[in-house]
Structure 1
Amino acid sequence: MQEQAPALRYRIAGMDCPSCVGKVETALRRIPGVGNLALNYHSQTLRVELDEATTRRAALEDTVRALGYGVEPIGDLRVVPGAEGGPAMESAPEPSWWRTPKGRVTLLIALLVAGGYALSALLPDVGHLAFLPAALLGLAVFGRRAVLLARMGSPFSIEMLMSVATAGALVIGETAEASVVVLLFAVGELLEGVAAGTARSGIKALGALVPRTALLIEGEAAREVPAAVLEPGQLVLVRPGDRVAADGTVEEGESEADESPITGESVPVAKGAGSPVYAGSINGGGALRVRVTRTAEDNTIARIVHLVEEAQASKSPTARFIERFSARYTPAVILASALTMLVPPLAFGAEWREWIYRGLALLLIGCPCALVLSTPAAVASGIAAAARRGLLVKGGAALEAIGRVRTVAFDKTGTLTAGRPQITDLLPLGGTERTLLGLAAAVENGSSHPLARAILDRAALDAVPLRPARDRRALPGRAAQASVGGRLVEVGSPRHAAERCGGLDPSLAESIGALEEAGKTVVLVLAGGEPAGLIALRDEPRPGAARGIAALRDLGVETVMLTGDNRRTGEAVGRALGLAVMAELLPEDKLRAIAGLKAEKPVAMVGDGINDGPALAAADVGIAMGGGTDVALETADAALLGNRLSGVAALIRLSRATMANIRQNVAFALGLKAVFLVTTIAGVTDLWLAILADTGATVIVTLNALRLLNQPAEPDLAEEGA
C-alpha cells in the first residue's frame, strides 16, 4: 500500500486575488510529487501534499518565491474534526503597506517617475530619457515575473500583457507613458493587497478575541498559563470581566456571558453549573470555574474561523462561469490587439506607430483582473459579514442559493419552539399520576428527545423513582418502547395508539382533541397494549419567532411548518406564528414534502440539526439551528449560531445583497472596458488611461465588495431576545 505524502501548510504573502491563486496553482501543479493542492487567497494559505522522495520542500518554496510571493511554513498540520484544514487560527498581523515588497517597489518607481518629470522640466534636452529608469525598473520586475509565469504554464498573465505594452511603448519612444504604466500597475497591485487585507482583518479579529492566557486551577491555587496549552479536563478560573479562554462547561459559580462574538446575540446568557461556555465570550459579574472540553485548535471560534476561510475559498457557480469566460476572453483580447496593430497599416496603409500604440492600449484594457475578482470578492465579504452576525454560511454556492429561495420550511420542536416542552396535564385512565409518570419515565430514560426530557424532568421534580426497563427501542415518529415489570410499555402518538389498539374510545379521543385544540402535544402511554393514560405537553414558540416569519413574508418568501405533531397542535402553533402547516409527518413524509416544495420553487429547510438531517440535506439549502454546537457547525449549508429565527431573513437579505453586488461588479468591469475599447480604437485613450481602466476597475470592484462588510444589522436581529 502506497504511503500518503505528508500534508504541508504555508502562508503565502502577497496572494491577494483569484489571479494570484491561478498563477501559483498552475506553477505548483507542474512540479513532480505535488498533490491535493488547496489555495485560499483570503487567508493567504497553501495546503499541499508533497512526495519528498521526488521533490524537496525547498524546490516547492523556491517556485513560489520566484513568482514574487513570500512563503513561510505555518507548522505541523493538525486536523480539525469535520474539516480539511489545520489550525483554524493563524492570525499573523497584516504588515503596513510600505513594509511589503510591493510597497517598496511602488515607492521606488514613484520616486523615479517624479524624478523623471522633474529632470525633464529642468533639462528639456534630456526629454524621454528621464523616464527610462522608472520604465526599465518596472519592466525588469514585472517582465521577469511574466517570463517565469509563462515558463510555468501561465502565458496570458496580466504581468505579460503589461510587460508587452511597456516594452512596446519604449520601442516607439513613449518612455513617459511607459513609466506611468508601470507605476499605475504597481499602485493597482498594492491597493489590491491593502483591500484584501481589510477583508481578512474581520475574520482575524474574530480569532484574536480568544485571550492569550488563562488561570489554570491546581489544587486551591490558580496560575497563569498560555491558553494554547489548555487540555480537555483541566479546570480554569474565569473572573468577572474576563474573556473565556477555552470552550468548556461551568462546574461552579453563576454569572452571565456575552456571547455576541460567536452567536451575534447581544443579550447576555445566564450561566450556571452544567452550562456550556465558549472561548472568546465575556464573563459578567460572577466568578466561574470552567472544565475545559476543547483544545485551542478545536474551540468554537477556531472552528468558525476555519469554516469561514474554507467557505470563502470555495467557488460559487457564478465565479466558475466567469473563470471559464475569462480563460477565453484574454486570448481573444490578445488576438484583437494584434489585429489592431497589423490590419490598418497592412490593409489600408495607416501609420504603424499610431496603430501599434492603439493596439498596446487595447492590450492593457483587456486585462481581466476586475472581472475575475468581481464574484469571489463579493462572496468573501458576504460570508465574512454573515459570520460577524452569528450566521455561518458554508460556501459561495450556498450563499448564492439562499438568495434564490422562495419557500422556507421549518421544523417545529427546537426550531420554531424553544425545544423545552413541559408537562401540563397528566390524565391516568387507571391508577395514579405518579404511576403513569413512572411508566413513561422508565421507557424514556436515556432518550435525548425533547418530549422525553420533559417527562424525565417532571419525574425528577416529583421524586418519582425510575423503574428498571429492558429492550428499549424507538419507532421513529411513532413511539418509544420498553419492557417494564414484564409488560410492554409504549409512549407514543395518538395515531400510533389507535393503530395498536384498533381505535380509541370516543371519550378518550374527545379528551385528546380538547388538549390538542389548546396547542398541546399529547402522548399516550400503553401498558400491555391497553391505554394507561394521557400526558399533555406544551412547547412555547421562541421569542421573536413571529417577527422572523413576518420578515420572510416581507421578502416575498412563503413559510411552512413541517411537524410530526398532530394536526390540531400544529395548526395552533401555525396560527400563532402566521405560517402554513403540514402536520403528522413521519421522517419519510418530511422528505416527500420537501421534494414536493422543491418541484415548485427553490426551498430552504430550517431544523435543529439533530433529527432533521435528511430533510436538511434534501432541500436546496439546509439551515441548522444550533447555538454553536458541533451539529450546527457540521450540518447543512448554513447555521444560525444564535438560534434567532430572524437570522433566516437576514441570510436571504445578505445573499440578495451579495448577488446584487456581483452584478454591479461585473457590469462595471465589462462596461468600463467597453467604453475604453471604443475610445482606444478611436485613438482617444492614452496608455496610462488604459492601465488605469484595469487597475482602477480592480480596486473599485474590491471596494464595492467590501461595502457588504459594513451593511447594518437588521433591527429584528438586535431586538430579538431582548
Structure 2
Amino acid sequence: MKDRDGTDHDGATAVTTRLQVQGMDCAGCALKVENALTRMPGVRTVDVSVARGSVTVRHDQAERSEMASRISALGYTVADEEKAEADRTRTGEDHAGHSHVHAQPDAGTRWWQTGKARLTIASGLALAVAFAVGKSAPGAERWAFLLAMLVGLVPIARRALSAAVAGTPFSIEMLMTIAAVGAVLIGATEEAATVVLLFLIGELLEGVAASRARASIQNLTKLVPKTARLEKGDGQVREVEAGALAVGDLIQVRPGDRVPADGVVVSGDSSVDEAPVTGESIPVRKERDDTVFAGTVNGDGLIRVRVKAAAADNTIARVVKLVEEAQESKAPTERFIDRFSRYYTPGVVVVAALVALVPPLLFGGDWSGWIYKGLAILLIGCPCALVISTPAAIAASLAAGARRGLLLKGGAVLEKIGRVTAVALDKTGTLTSGKPQVTDIIGFGRSEDEVLRFAAALESGSSHPLAAAILSKATERQMTIPPASEASAIGGKGVRATVEGMKVFLGSPKAAAELAAVTDAQRGRIAALNDEGKTVSLLVLDDKLAGALAMRDEPRPDAERGLELLSDAGIRTVMLTGDNRRTADAIGNSLGIEVEAELLPEDKQRIVTELQKQGFVVAKVGDGINDAPALAAADVGIAMGGGTDVALETADAAVLHGRVSDIAAMIDLSKRTMTNIRQNIAVALGLKALFLVTTVAGITGLWPAILADTGATVLVTLNALRLLKPRGEAP
C-alpha cells in the first residue's frame, strides 16, 4: 500500500523516488541504469521507463543526489528536482503519480542542443581537421587522427568504465573502446577515429527517433481542448480550464467544438465525429443519456454534457497510458551487437592476450613476434566488418522498401515482422478507403439519375461525409445540379428544400416515413441494404417517396487480394473495428475475414494481447489514434498510409501507399533481409576464424588481418546490395 507521499507500508518503511532522465533510448540504456541503481545500498526495486524517460526507485532513504550521480556517470542527464516538480504540476500530475500524462524531460530541446549532438559535432570537426593536417603535414597525420579519435572516445570510454563498475562490463561502449584502442595499437588510427564518429552518429539518430516517439504520444493530449464552457448553479456559463473539470460538472459543447471531457448527454442532440477515439467512419447521432468522449468533435447541435471522468482519466489520457504501458511490456530486444559482445568481445581479448603471453612465458617464445601476433588477432577481432554487416543489409532493405512505400523503423522490426503468424487489421481507412461511397441508387417511380440529381441539390455546400459521397457520385456522372432554395436541416432527421418548384426531403427512413407512404416491398429493399451494412437515405418529392440512396465505406480495391496473400503464407487475419456490428460483419463477409466489432481502444489492445497469449506473433495494422494502444501492444505495429501522425509514430512500420497487399510484401522483405543478415554474419565471422588460425600458425600477419576485415566488409556490403533489386529481378 502506498501513501500519496510515495511511502510503502509492507512491514518496513520504504521511500519511492522518481527521477526524470534524458538520453535513455533503448532497452540497453534501461539495463545499464537498472544495474547501476540496484547495486546501491538500501535500494529495493528499480523501474526504468524508456517511454516516459523516468526512473522510479523504491529504497530505504537512499540519497537522491547519489542516484542522480550514478545515472549521470553513464552518460545520461537527470532533471533537477525543482524542474521535475514544475513539469508534474504543469501536466496535472500529483505526487502519487496518478495522472497518466507525464512531462518529458527533453521536451522543448532540439536535437542539436543535446549533449549527444554536441559530442558528435565536435568529433566530426576534429576528424575533418585531422584529414586536413594529414594532407598538409603527413608527418603529423597519426597524431592528428589520434587526437580526433580521443575527442569522441574519451567520453565513450568513461561511460564504458562507469557501466563496468555499475555491473555492465561488456556494454556497446566497451566494445567500441576496445575496438578503437586495438586499431590504434596496430597503427590504424584513421580507421579508429572514423569508427568512433560513426558510432556517435548512430547513437544521436537513435536518440532523435526516441524523442520523436515520446513527443508523438504526448501530442495525443492536444486533441482535448484547453477550455470548457461550465454551467453554474445560477444558470450562468463561464469558460474554465478543461483540466479543472470535476466529475459531475455540467458543460455546454457548441457545434464545431471538441468535447472537453468524457461525459453523458443530459439535453440536446447532435451528430458527433468519434473517429479520433473509436474509428467510427460516420458521425454518430447523440441524444439524451448517450456517452460522449473527450477529443471527439460536436457536429450540428448544442449539447449539454454531465462530466463522468476527470482530465487525468478521460479517454485520451487512457490511450496515452495504454500506449506507454504497451511499449514497456514488450520483450526487451537488445541490439544484436550488444548481445553478441557479451561473449565475442571478452573472447577476442582473452585469445589475443593468450597468444601474446603464453608462448613467451611458458615455451620461451619470442616476445616481439608473439605480441605482433596478439595485436593481429586483436585487429581480426575488431568488429568493424561484423558491425557493418547487419546495418548494410538493413539499409538496403529500408531503401528497397521505401521505393515501394514500405516504411520499417530499423533492424528490430525487420527481424520480428518476418516471424508474424497473425495480423489484426482495422477496418476504417485500412481495409476500407475511410470515406462513405454511394453504392446503390434506387428509383421509386423516378429514374436513378433524377434521384441522384435532387439529392445532390439538397446536399450542395454541405461538408458532411454522406453529403460528400452524394456530391462525388453526381460529379462522377457529370451531372448539372439544380439550385435549391429555402434549404434547412432538421436535426437528427435530414435536409429539406425547394428544388425546381417541388418540396424535396432527403433523410432517414424513419423521418421519410412521416412524410410519405412506404410500401412493404420498399421496406424490404431498405432492410436488405441495411443488412449489408449500408446507410440508407430516402428521397421524398412533394410528399411522395421518389427513391433511395445507400452508402457504405467500401473495401479498398486490393483488400481481398491482400488478405489472400497473407492467408496463403499461413498467417491468420482478423478485423478489429469500432464500427457497429452489422457494418463490420457485412465488410468481413465480403472479404472473408473474421470480425471483432464495436471495440474501444482498450478492447483492441486486449484482443491483440489475447492472440499473443495463444502463441501468435501479432502484427496490428491501423490508421487512427484509436489504434495506437493496439499498435504499441502488438509485436509489430503497422500504420496505413494517410493515417494520423500518432499512428505513424507509434507504429513500428508503415504502408505509405495504403495497399493491403503491401503488408504481405513487407513480411516477405523481412524474411529475405534476415536471410541476408545471416549470410553476412557467416561471412564476417568465417573470415575472422580463418585468419585467426592462419595468424596463430604464422602464415599471416597484420596486413592480411587488415585486409581480412576490409575484405569481409566489401563482401557483406555487396551481398546486402542485392536486396535493392526487386524480387525476381536478376542482380
1:215 aligns with 2:232: no
Measure the CA separation in 2 of the matches of 1:248 and 1:664: 50
Indicate the residue corresponding to 1:65 in structure 2. 72
Contact 1:215 1:237 (8 Å CA) reproduced:
yes
Q: Deviations over 1:78-98 (max 9, x none)?
A: 999xx9985245366363221
Change (3 A) 1:574 1:267: closer
Measure the CA separation in 2 of the matches of 1:35 and 1:361: 43
1:404 aligns with 2:421: yes
Indicate the residue corresponding to 1:133 in structure 2. 147
1:167 aligns with 2:181: yes
Given candidates 365, 368, 378, the residue that maps to 1:359 is 378
Given candidates 304, 324, 344, the residue that maps to 1:332 is 344
Measure the CA separation in 2 of the matches of 1:324 and 1:111: 29
Measure the CA separation in 1 of the matches of 2:668 and 2:15: 42
Indicate the residue corresponding to 1:242 in structure 2. 257
SS at match of 2:300: coil
1:50-89 alignment runs, 5 A limit:
50-53=58-61, 55-72=62-79, 87-89=100-102
Q: Deviations over 1:85-132 (max 9, x none)?
A: 852453663632210110011111111111222223233332212223
Q: Deviations over 1:524-552 (max 9, x none)?
A: xxxxxxxxxxxxxxx95755899799786
Contact 1:67 1:149 (8 Å CA) reproduced:
yes
Change (3 A) 1:206 1:171: same
SS at match of 1:683: helix
Indicate the residue corresponding to 1:184 in structure 2. 198
Indicate the residue corresponding to 1:20 in structure 2. 29
Given candidates 701, 705, 708, the residue that maps to 1:683 is 705
1:287 aligns with 2:287: no
Q: Deviations over 1:370-424 (max 9, x none)?
A: 989x99xx9xxxxxxxxxxxxxxxxx9xx9899524999xxxxxxxxxxxxxxxx
Q: CA deviation at 1:297?
A: 1.5
Q: Deviations over 1:562-600 (max 9, x none)?
A: xxxxxxxx9xx99994799xxxxxxxxxxxxxxxxxxxx
Indicate the residue corresponding to 1:390 in structure 2. none
Measure the CA separation in 2 of the matches of 1:692 and 1:207: 48
Give the aligned residue type for 1:263. Answer: T
Q: CA deviation at 1:247?
A: 1.6
Note the aligned Cα RMSD (angstroms): 5.9
Q: CA deviation at 1:671?
A: 4.5
Task: Say how many residue pairs are matched.
Answer: 506
Q: CA deviation at 1:64?
A: 1.2
Give the aligned residue type for 1:364. Answer: P
Indicate the residue corresponding to 2:133 in structure 1. 119
Change (3 A) 1:342 1:149: same
Contact 1:333 1:366 (8 Å CA) reproduced:
no
Change (3 A) 1:559 1:227: closer
Q: Deviations over 1:176-212 (max 9, x none)?
A: 3332222121111111112223444443332332233
Given candidates 244, 252, 255, the residue that maps to 2:267 is 252
Change (3 A) 1:9 1:249: farther
Q: CA deviation at 1:153?
A: 0.5
TM-score by length of 2: 0.55
Q: CA deviation at 1:314?
A: 1.7
Measure the CA separation in 1 of the matches of 2:33 and 2:319: 27
Q: CA deviation at 1:65?
A: 1.4
Given candidates 294, 306, 330, the residue that maps to 2:321 is 306
SS at match of 1:267: coil
Contact 1:113 1:180 (8 Å CA) reproduced:
yes
Q: Deviations over 1:661-713 (max 9, x none)?
A: 7656655655444444456656356989999999x9xxx9xxx9xxxxxxxxx
Contact 1:165 1:361 (8 Å CA) reproduced:
no
Q: CA deviation at 1:28?
A: 2.0
Measure the CA separation in 2 of the matches of 1:371 and 1:41: 24
Indicate the residue corresponding to 1:262 in structure 2. 277
Change (3 A) 1:309 1:360: farther
Change (3 A) 1:245 1:350: farther
Give the aligned residue type for 1:359. Answer: L
Q: CA deviation at 1:305?
A: 1.6
Indicate the residue corresponding to 2:287 in structure 1. 272
Give the aligned residue type for 2:254. Answer: R
Contact 1:676 1:685 (8 Å CA) reproduced:
no
Change (3 A) 1:251 1:406: closer
Contact 2:225 2:258 (8 Å CA) reproduced:
yes
1:297 aligns with 2:323: no
1:44 aligns with 2:63: no
Deviates more, 1:109-118 or 1:337-346: 337-346
Measure the CA separation in 1 of the matches of 2:329 and 2:144: 47
SS at match of 1:294: coil
Change (3 A) 1:331 1:576: closer
Q: CA deviation at 1:15?
A: 1.0
Measure the CA separation in 2 of the matches of 1:145 and 1:312: 26
SS at match of 1:208: helix
SS at match of 1:251: strand
Contact 1:119 1:130 (8 Å CA) reproduced:
yes
Change (3 A) 1:615 1:315: closer
Change (3 A) 1:281 1:357: farther
Measure the CA separation in 1 of the matches of 2:588 and 2:158: 69
TM-score by length of 1: 0.55
Indicate the residue corresponding to 1:98 in structure 2. 112
Change (3 A) 1:251 1:401: farther
Contact 1:237 1:289 (8 Å CA) reproduced:
yes
Change (3 A) 1:222 1:662: farther
Change (3 A) 1:657 1:37: farther
Measure the CA separation in 2 of the matches of 1:675 and 1:615: 38
Measure the CA separation in 2 of the matches of 1:615 and 1:101: 38
The runs of 5 or more residues in structure 2 that have no matched partner are 1-9, 360-364, 398-412, 426-523, 525-529, 535-551, 576-581, 638-646, 648-657, 692-703, 725-731
Change (3 A) 1:21 1:143: same
Change (3 A) 1:126 1:12: same
Measure the CA separation in 1 of the matches of 2:588 and 2:203: 56
Contact 1:262 1:281 (8 Å CA) reproduced:
yes
Measure the CA separation in 2 of the matches of 1:199 and 1:672: 31
Contact 1:5 1:51 (8 Å CA) reproduced:
yes
Q: Deviations over 1:166-185 (max 9, x none)?
A: 22333344333332222121
Measure the CA separation in 2 of the matches of 1:153 and 1:226: 48
Q: CA deviation at 1:156?
A: 0.5
Measure the CA separation in 1 of the matches of 2:251 and 2:352: 72
Measure the CA separation in 1 of the matches of 2:665 and 2:36: 35
Given candidates 38, 42, 45, the residue that maps to 1:33 is 42
Measure the CA separation in 1 of the matches of 2:387 and 2:237: 58
